[in-house]
């Protein structure tokens, strides 16, 4: 279990210095746009998959701290994973958000969001990018 200050550090680092925030204009990438009706979160996620392996995931747009950090962390977690492995990681994240048993080791820095369920109004912020990644995985699986 991470302490509160360490969680805050992780979130702020991924918000201020996201590893995966950049617009992609490459036809090999598929993209999904997701926006919230209730806040500023408005992002597009881009994914490149080769032989069922996620080679790259990036995102662009505007997001609050929770949206940007959770999306950036999930991009890191699913890159170089098979589509099935990535789906399992996302399911573990949803289990955490839904207060169900989950594997902390699988989620690494995403554990910083382990109390998000306590802020119902912020759950959308913490899942908007994850939903976009999941939509892309489902699209590649077709």
Instruction: Give pLDDT tens digits for 105-130.
Output: 999 999 999 999 999 889 999 999 99
Q: Two tokens at 127?
A: 């899942």
Residue 37's pLDDT is 86
| Closest of 24, 115, 18, 139 to residue 73, by C-alpha | 18
pLDDT tens digits, one per residue of 45-89: 999 999 999 999 999 999 999 999 999 999 999 999 999 999 999
Angle 65-78/4-16 helices, nearest 10 degrees? 80
Q: Are strands 53-62 and 30-35 parallel, antiparallel or unpaired?
A: unpaired
Q: Two tokens at 122?
A: 């912020």
Per 3-state DSSP, the chain is made up of helix, strand and coil in percentages (nearest 5) of 55, 20, 25
**pTM beyond 0.75:** yes
Q: Two tokens at 131?
A: 């939903």
d(CA 124, CA 130): 10
């Amino acid at each position: 279990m991470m302490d509160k200050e360490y969680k805050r550090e992780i979130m702020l680092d991924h918000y201020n210095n996201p590893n995966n925030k950049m617009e992609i204009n490459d036809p090999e990438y598929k993209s999904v746009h997701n926006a919230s009706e209730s806040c500023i979160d408005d992002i597009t996620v881009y994914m490149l998959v080769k032989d069922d392996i996620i080679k790259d995931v990036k995102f662009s747009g505007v997001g609050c701290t929770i949206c940007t950090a959770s999306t950036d962390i999930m991009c890191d977690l699913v890159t170089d994973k098979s589509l099935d492995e990535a789906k399992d990681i996302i399911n573990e994240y949803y289990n955490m958000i839904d207060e169900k048993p989950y594997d902390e080791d699988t989620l690494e820095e995403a554990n910083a969001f382990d109390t998000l369920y306590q802020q119902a109004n912020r759950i959308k912020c913490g899942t908007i990018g994850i939903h976009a990644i999941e939509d892309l995985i489902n699209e590649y699986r077709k």
